[in-house]
Amino acid sequence: MRTERSVYLIACDDEACVAMRRILEVSDYTVHCAASLEQLPYICCGKVCAVIDIAGAGFAHWASHLQQRGMDIPVIAISAEADIPLAVDTIRRGAVDFLAKPFSDAQLLAAVALALHHGPSKPHVSDDQAVEIAKRMETLSGREKDVLRGLLAGNSNKVIAHRLGISPRTVEIHRANLMMKMQAETLSALVTMALVNTRYTSAAY
C-alpha cells in the first residue's frame, strides 16, 4: 500500500496557490491548499510537509502557530523578498528550505521531496556528509570565510563590504566563489551547510 505524500500549501495569492498545487498534484502529491493554518485539516498518517508563503508575518509567526497545533512537520518557506537576512533567519529558525520567488517547478519539487524524505529534524546530513562539508570549508580562503561569516550574521553584501573594507562587487565575487567551492546551489543550502559546521556558526563576526 502506497504511503500518502501530503503537502500543506499556505499562500494568500490564489493564482500562486493554484499554480503550485497543479505542479505538486501532477507529481502525485496530495495537496491541501488554504490561506491559513486554521483552514487546513489535520493529517494523521503518511509523509507530510508544509509550503508556506511567509510574506508579511515572517517565519517565526508560522513556526509558532505550527507548534501550537502540535504539528512537528518540515516547512519550506517561500517569499518574494530574496534578501539575505530573511533567508538566513528563516533557516536558523528551523525551515528546511527557503525559496525566493520566482522559483522553478524543479526547485519546488526538489525542496518538497527532500523535506518529505528527511522530516522536521535539522540539520539533514549524515556523518559522512558532515565530514564532506568540513572538507569543503577548509578549501575556502580567509576572505571567503569572512564573507561567509557575514552572510551567516544576516548582513547584506554592502554591510559586509563596509566591515571588510572592500567593494560590494568584490564581496559578490567572493560569495560566488565560496558557493561554488561549497557546491551550494542556493543560499539556503549554503546556510544549512554552515550551520552543520559549528566552527563557523559560533565564530564571531
Residue 98, domain CATH: 3.40.50.2300
Q: C-alpha grid cell for residue 151?
A: 552572510
pLDDT of the residue at 55: 80
pLDDT at position 5 over 80: yes
pLDDT at position 167 over 60: yes
Those residues whose C-beta lies under 8 Å from the C-beta of residue 40, and which sit 6 or more positions away, are: 8, 10, 32, 34
Q: 70 vs 18, which has greater pLDDT?
A: 18
- Residue 11 and residue 92 in one domain: yes
pLDDT class for 201, splitting at 50, 70, 90?
very low
Q: What is the pTM of this model?
A: 0.74
Q: C-alpha grid cell for residue 184?
A: 551550494
Q: 3-class SS at 31?
A: strand
> Domain tally for the chain?
2
Q: Tell me the chain's radius of gyration from C-alpha atoms.
A: 18
Q: 117 vs 147, which has greater pLDDT?
A: 147
CATH for 164? 1.10.10.10
Q: 3-class SS at 188?
A: helix
pLDDT class for 3, splitting at 50, 70, 90?
low
Expressed as residue numbers, the domain containing 163 is: 127-201
pLDDT of the residue at 156: 84
User: If you average pLDDT over every residue of the chain, what do you get?
Assistant: 82
CA angle 61, 62, 68 (to 5 degrees): 95
Q: C-alpha grid cell for residue 91?
A: 533557516
- Residue 91 and residue 172 in one domain: no
pLDDT at position 113 over 80: yes
Ramachandran area for residue 74 (φ above 0: left; ψ -120 to 50: alpha; else beta): beta
